[in-house]
Amino acid sequence: MSARTVEPSAEALSASQRLRGIATRAATASAHHLTAAFRSPMLVQRKGSAHDLVTEHDVASEAIIRDAILREEPDSTVLGEEGGAVGDGRVVWHVDPIDGTVNFAHGIAFWCVSVAAAVDGEVVAGVVLDPVGGHEFAADLGGAWLDGAALTPRASRTETAAAVVSSFPGAVDLASHGEAALEATEALVHGFATTRAMGSGALGLAHVAAGWADATFDLHTHPWDVAAGSLLVRRSGGRYVGFVDGRPDEDPCSLHLAPAYYATGPGADYPTLDAVVRRLSAIGAAAGG
């Protein structure tokens, strides 16, 4: 589906700006807790495998964010990675209390807090907060900003000059796609200037929005991972394409719900990336992955 380019009404813009403020304050409250806890002893558990971890601070961070949101916007439904849905209000919040938990648990400084608000299905405000780097990426229907300055990213025009950040190939990709994942890795390594597995989808999207990376992608994602980052990319002039069963989706009301995606900076055209994500999305669907 093609992306819509209808400009928001003054009322919608004002509402999105207010929600961005709420998201920022909630994420900041969480960040105070997380920066104090980072690289200290912590309780770590496995959610499903050795590659899927949750710490006591994921749970604490989500509670801080949820309480802050509901205090300022009672007409909310908060969808958190750890606690599921709380509330039944009109504004739906997608919350990842620590995106990059494995990095956080191992003391690797590439993780973030991601908070986004959706109204009538469309993400209208979002914040990706990088406490260690000291950066606040924020977006609403009026634009996208890094530490208060408007984002004006540039992307390499060709794949051979571009940098791709992702978490691919992870154990889940190898399990669901097998040899096809290895073939895709080879295509990406040969096609792009550099590929890097970073471990945080939300922060990867923020880096694309800032122009610090040219592209990013994932095959196994959730709305709380990408809702804020997808808005950052789109409002900074880039492109975010969701994929369901190999079919692209650029509808603002559904693209963040797609299990696979890629995102690029403004004006980028990367046919290898498009082909890889499109093919692997279709293969995963056929295999039930």
User: What are the tens digits of pLDDT across the range 194-245?
Assistant: 999 999 999 999 999 999 999 999 999 999 999 999 999 999 999 999 999 9
* pLDDT digits 0-9 by tens, 134-150: 999 999 999 999 999 99
Rounded Cα gap, residues 240 and 226, in angstroms: 10
Which stretches of 33-134 are assigned E, i.e. beta strand?
Answer: 44-49, 52-55, 76-80, 84-86, 91-99, 112-119, 122-130
Give the pLDDT score at 44: 82
Share of the chain above pLDDT 90, in %: 85
Which of these CATH numbers, 3.30.540.10, 3.40.50.880, 1.10.10.10, 3.20.10.10, describes 10-150? Answer: 3.30.540.10
Please check whether the domain covering 159-287 is classified as CATH 3.40.190.80.
Answer: yes
133 vs 51, more confident: 133
Pairing of the two strands 76-80 and 52-55: unpaired
Across the range 103-124, mean pLDDT stands at 96
This prediction has a pTM of 0.93
* pLDDT digits 0-9 by tens, 32-64: 999 999 998 878 877 666 556 678 898 999 999
| Alpha carbon distance, N-terminus to C-terminus of the chain | 23
Domain boundaries, the chain: 10-150, 159-287
